[in-house]
Structure 1
Amino acid sequence: MHAITLHDQVASWQEHPAPGPLEASEVRIHVAWAGVNRADLMQRAGGYPPPPGASEILGLEVSGTVIETGPGVARLESGQKVCALLAGGGYAEEVVVHQAQVLPLPAGYGLREAATLPETFATAWLNLFMEGGLNHVEGGAERVLLHAGASGVGTTAIQLCRTFGHPCFVTVGSEAKLEQCLELGAETGWNRHHGSFVEAVKAWGGADLILDPVGGSYLADNQQVLNADGRLVVIGLMGGRHAELDLGRMLMKRQRLIGSTLRSKSPHAKGVILEELQQHVWPRLARGELRPLIDRDYPIQRAEEAMAYLESNASIGKVLLSVAGGD
């Protein structure tokens, strides 16, 4: 098969050994589309190695067609169109993954749209509702601050907050991005180029939950706007890995700081998240209440260009790679 290989951090499409024989509960998928995520950029730069035993090939989410099933696989069959959450290996013609990490497509969805779902929706759902403790019964009404609101995870989280009744405030990097976030359902927001978001969020009423892919440089400001009993869920380190924590504020306001990563979770743990998505999110996708936002796509041979575009922070929504393409 062909796959993306890295040489001196440069990605190229080359011949590569195919994944080996299937073990119990595994399926082999012929990849149609792969999602591009910031974790891929971090891995390429040497800062985010795959978990032990995972493929060294980039790529954490794909859509495609099941072409082989291993022993013990009952709910999936050859020829079925699916999407999958991976620990690595998505920038390739084939992937092998545990069946727990695979879902059928939502009704009415094609393979291109479905490639945007696994990593982005799993990350947003995990950190808003499972780690962050938001109520996913509609009308929960806790207030959410989303940093990087125009990212793939951000645009997904906005829609989930809107659907389940949680007002959200977004921080973004341009007025165009802010306008798009408001159209998706954010209540209000802040262009980070205008300075600190602290006073604007305080005037809005503060946040009960903050979803933060920035980390270090935002910690002090996040603490200032986090309400009593609030939760700060850190899912990335774009702003650095070191910062000063005000323990006095944390104690007095009963704030909770939660670090969260999805990639290193076990197949069983990922399967639990995907089961919740299939129960609570897939029907809403099928009804059009939620919709993934795709910025643009590139042929897999132009993966380097796609990653450069994502790294530029110009994107609004997901960036995709076409491997076999199709709907």
Structure 2
Amino acid sequence: MRFIKFVIKWFSIFSFLLAILFGGIWFLFQGVQKLFHKSLIIVPNFKGLSLVEVLENRPKGLHLEILEKKKSLTIPKGYIIEQTPKSGERVKEGRRLLMTISLGSDSISVPSFIGKSFRKSNLILRNLGLSVGTKAFIKSKDSGQSKVLSQSPKSGELALKGSVVSFLLSKPVKRGRRLPMLEEHSLSKAKEILLKSNLSLGKIRKKSIPGFKHLEVLEQFPPAGNILKIDEKVDLVINNIEETNENKQIKTIKVDIKLPPGLKRQFVKVDKMDFSGKKTIYEKSHSPATSFSLKVKLKGSGYLNIYLDDIFYKKIKLSGEVNGINHRANGY
């Protein structure tokens, strides 16, 4: 019985001392933990706030520092774009908070390029301070220039100066070349036009016709407007009148012209063609079946074209003696 009382007594004492020990340890742990947490700061979220708001709401013990300033399409000037450390992190007192500040933007509203040629779109981009990004192509049955089918950024979206715009472009199928007008050009110019059109020069025939320049293209085969294959040949007829002493001489010729019968007055126009070129020398209204005379100064040989109410009526070949007057004119 005495032994049991002894055990109970010492067990009570031991339990009491053990409780005091654990209680002391617990209070010590709580004190250290409170002391440790007092030295930490939870970083707030400053993104999207103005610099003034950040300065007003920053926690004590946190030092603010601007890391960089850069342009932004979405964040206004003077507002925070990024921060380090991020919001929610626990940092010690005295820690620096690095911020990236927005300078605003030199933003441009991207226009629509859909349907425009790539050449024109590129010119517009350069004028806006933008440049061409990626180009992708889709084959198209349409002939002509490559056109814009899609773009990124889309029309109306904002882009910074110096940024790029990417295009999806049509790629025309090369079916051939439309033959340009070569007549009335010089032979050298006609060759240049054919070269640019990816066509070749074929046979050259020569004619001597007054009123057209030497080596001027009179006819072309096929005619202008035909669609030809690449490198297909084009035949030409050129004028072969070189200026000689005879062609340089001036002749004065009297030409008698008789108009056809009719019911009303007609407007008469006379064009002269000689070695000096084409020139309108007479314009006047006449009654039907009347006659009139013209004194024509002729350089070399030539002819007259007569028009009634702007409709071709007759061609008259001219001939005569130098410095004299010939009263005859042959029509054909």
Smaller-chain TM-score bracket = under 0.3
Relative to its length, the structure with more helix (as a share) is 1
Larger radius of gyration: 2
Higher relative strand content: 2
How does the TM-score come out when normalised to structure 1?
0.19
